[in-house]
Amino acid sequence: MGSIDWQQTTALVTGGAGFLGKHVVTGLERRGCKRVVVPRSRECDLRRPEAVRCLLSDVKPDIVLHLAAVVGGIGANQSSPGSFFYDNMSMGLHLIEESRRAGISKFVGIGTICSYPKFTAVPFREDDLWNGYPEETNAPYGLAKKMLLVQLQGYRQQYGFNGIFLMPVNLYGPGDNFDLETSHVIPAMIRKFLKAKSNGDEQVTMWGDGSPTREFLYVQDAAEGILLGAERYEGSDPVNLGSGEEVSVRDLAEQIRSLTGYTGEIVWDPSRPNGQPRRCTDVTRAADLFGFRSTTSLEDGLMKTLDWSHSTVVEAERKLA
């Protein structure tokens, strides 16, 4: 099992200013990391190999944690599948290649639960990753990420490049994206319920029929899992990062409605897509290989997210009014 002396390490964190990235950067700083560098997209376009080459030459990192991604909910994936594929594929492709050329000692690639086949047996085991095609609404994103796993495995075999690949489930927590056009399910529900409560609306409409299941991981737990993997894992096999707990979208909506204090009706719109029927991962590999287990229950995580989001969402709605 490997180890990292963070006090003597320069870490490059792509996407480090994002939702997950901020928590990873905080975790690195708490570990005493000598130097944490967060490139910004307006200054360095990771889709351009020459830009990546210059970045690595300037920073000279010991480790690269590649968290940068173009992400969104079902609606965003449906409207821009080509962009989701190209942006995510090209960023990872060039960053891995240029990191290899630069002699980076370790590369941490972050994948997605969306890479699993649409009808994967529950719980999702990493060995099932290639047993079918992903759910159609987010397949381009999921496949682009999965190709980075192939690249890392191929580079390890041919060049001895030390790259690992971690696959978080749906994340949530303080600092999440609450834009209804691009957000994922938990922030979208929170915003809808808070807005309906503020406006006195009698009902809230949710996409689909509520039957799909999902697994959620509190963002601070996810950041800790990534850093434990960076410190302790040296293998080529992909590893799930999750809570191992499955909840239906319908039950999730009821739980968030209760926590927000909204008393109106939930109306389901079955003309809207459900997405993947079920999602829940086997989390034993992460526990066995680098000691990661989530510590935040869904209820506690939702409470923390609501404490943070209430004033943020209400203020955003006020400005839009």
- What CA–CA distance (Å, rounded) separates 67 from 61? 15
Angle at 85 between CA 223 and CA 286, to 5 degrees: 30
Distance CA 102, CA 107 (A): 12
Dist CA 81 CA 143 (whole Å):
11
Q: Which helix (H) or strand (E) holds 207?
A: strand 203-207
Give yes or no for a cis peptide into 39 (omega within 30° of 0): no
Integer Cα distance of 294 and 283 in angstroms: 9
Token reading at 100: 């290899």
List strand residue ranges (DSSP E) for 232-303, in order: 239-241, 247-248, 265-269
Residue 241 CA to residue 229 CA, distance in Å, equals 10
Tokens 């490997």 -> residue: 2
User: What's the CA gap between 4 and 196, in Å, rounded?
Assistant: 48
| Whether 141 is catalytic | yes
Residues paired with 165 in a beta bridge: 109
Q: Measured between alpha carbons, how far is 256 from 201 in angstroms, rounded to an integer?
A: 16
Choice among 86, 116, 141, 233 that is catalytic: 141
Q: Closest by alpha carbon to 202, among 264, 252, 136?
A: 264
Bridge partners for 216 per DSSP: 170
Active-site residue numbers? Answer: 141
